[in-house]
Amino acid sequence: MADIQLIGVVGCGLMGSGIAQVAAQSGYEVIVREVNQELLDAGMKRIKAVLDKDVAKGKINQEDYHATISRLHPTIELEPMADADIIIEVIVEQIAAKRELFAALDRICKPQTIFATNTSSLPVTEVAAATKRPDRVAGLHFFNPVPVMKLVELVRALSTSQETLFTLQQFGERLGKTVVQAQDTPGFIVNRLLVPYLLDAIRCFGEGLASREDIDNGMKLGASHPMGPLTLSDFIGLDTLYYVANVLFDEYKESRFAPPPLLRRMVLAGMLGKKAGKGFYDYPQA
C-alpha cells in the first residue's frame, strides 16, 4: 500500500476546514490552500475555534491542540501541493472550476499523487477525465460537520483503479470514519436517499399537513433522527438542497427528486436557512 504522509486540501470553507482539521488530528501533515489570504485566514480561524472548544470541553489537551495546528500548513499557492500523497478538492460545485483545478494539479504533482473530490453532485468520472491519471482519481464525500459525522462515501469513477480505492479506504479509516463505497451515480448513497426525504418533508409542510415543529418533532422523536427534516434542510442550506435536487432530477427525471415550488420560492427570497439567518426557522445569531 502507498505510504501516505502528506495531505493536500484545496479549499478551506466549511467542509475543507473540517477535513483539514480531521486529517491533522489524525497525524497527517496537511497543506491547506485557499485562493486568497482573507479566505485562508477565515478557514484557519474556523479550525482554531473548533479546536479551542474541544480544549475547553477537555476533549483534547493543549499539547494536542498545538500539535494539530503545527501540522497544518496554510498557503494561497498551488505549488506546495506538488509532493502531496493525497489531495482532496473542496472548492465550489462547478464542473469547469474543478476540471481546471485537477488539470493544473495534474501538471505539478508527482505521478503517484491521488486526487479526491468532495463533490456531492457532480460526476466524479468527468472530473477524473480532466487529468492524465484518471485511474488515480475518486470521490471522497464528507458530511457536515466533518469532525462529528462518522461517514465518508468513497466514490468509484469509471476509471478509478482498485489500488486507488484501497488507499483511500485506508485513509478514510485512519481519519476515524466509516467508509462506504458507491458507484459514480448522482447523489451516491446518502443524498440519493436523503434528498427525496427532505423534499417530501417540504411538500408536506407546503401542503399544510402539520406545523414545521410537528413535522420535525415527528421525525426526531418518532424515528430518532438527530434533526428533523426542515431543521436539517436549513442546516444544509436551502440553496444547496435546491441545487442538489435539480442535479438529481436532471439525471434521473424522477418526480421524487423534483424540488417543490416552496423550496424554489424560499431560495428566490433569500431564505437560505441557517447561514442566512432565515429559512424554515429564524436564526437571529447568524
The residues that touch ligand CAA, with contacts defined as CB under 6 A, are: 50, 53, 57, 59, 120, 143-145, 147-149, 191, 226-227, 232, 236, 240
Q: Are 100 and 114 in contact (CB under 8 A)?
A: no
Q: Pick between residue 84 and residue 195 the one whose CB is nearest to ligand CAA.
A: 195
Catalytic residues: 120, 141, 153, 191
Q: What is the C-alpha separation between 264 and 245, in angstroms, rounded?
A: 11
C-beta of 36: minimal distance to ligand CAA in Å? Answer: 23
Q: Pick between residue 49 and residue 76 the one whose CB is nearest to ligand CAA.
A: 49
Q: Pick between residue 67 and residue 227 the one whose CB is nearest to ligand CAA.
A: 227
C-beta of 165: minimal distance to ligand CAA in Å? Answer: 20
Q: Pick between residue 68 and residue 240 the one whose CB is nearest to ligand CAA.
A: 240
C-beta of 199: minimal distance to ligand CAA in Å? Answer: 13
Q: Pick between residue 10 and residue 122 the one whose CB is nearest to ligand CAA.
A: 122
Q: Which of 259, 272, 253, 244 is nearest to 120 (CA)?
A: 244
Q: What is the C-alpha separation between 74 and 32, in angstroms, rounded?
A: 5
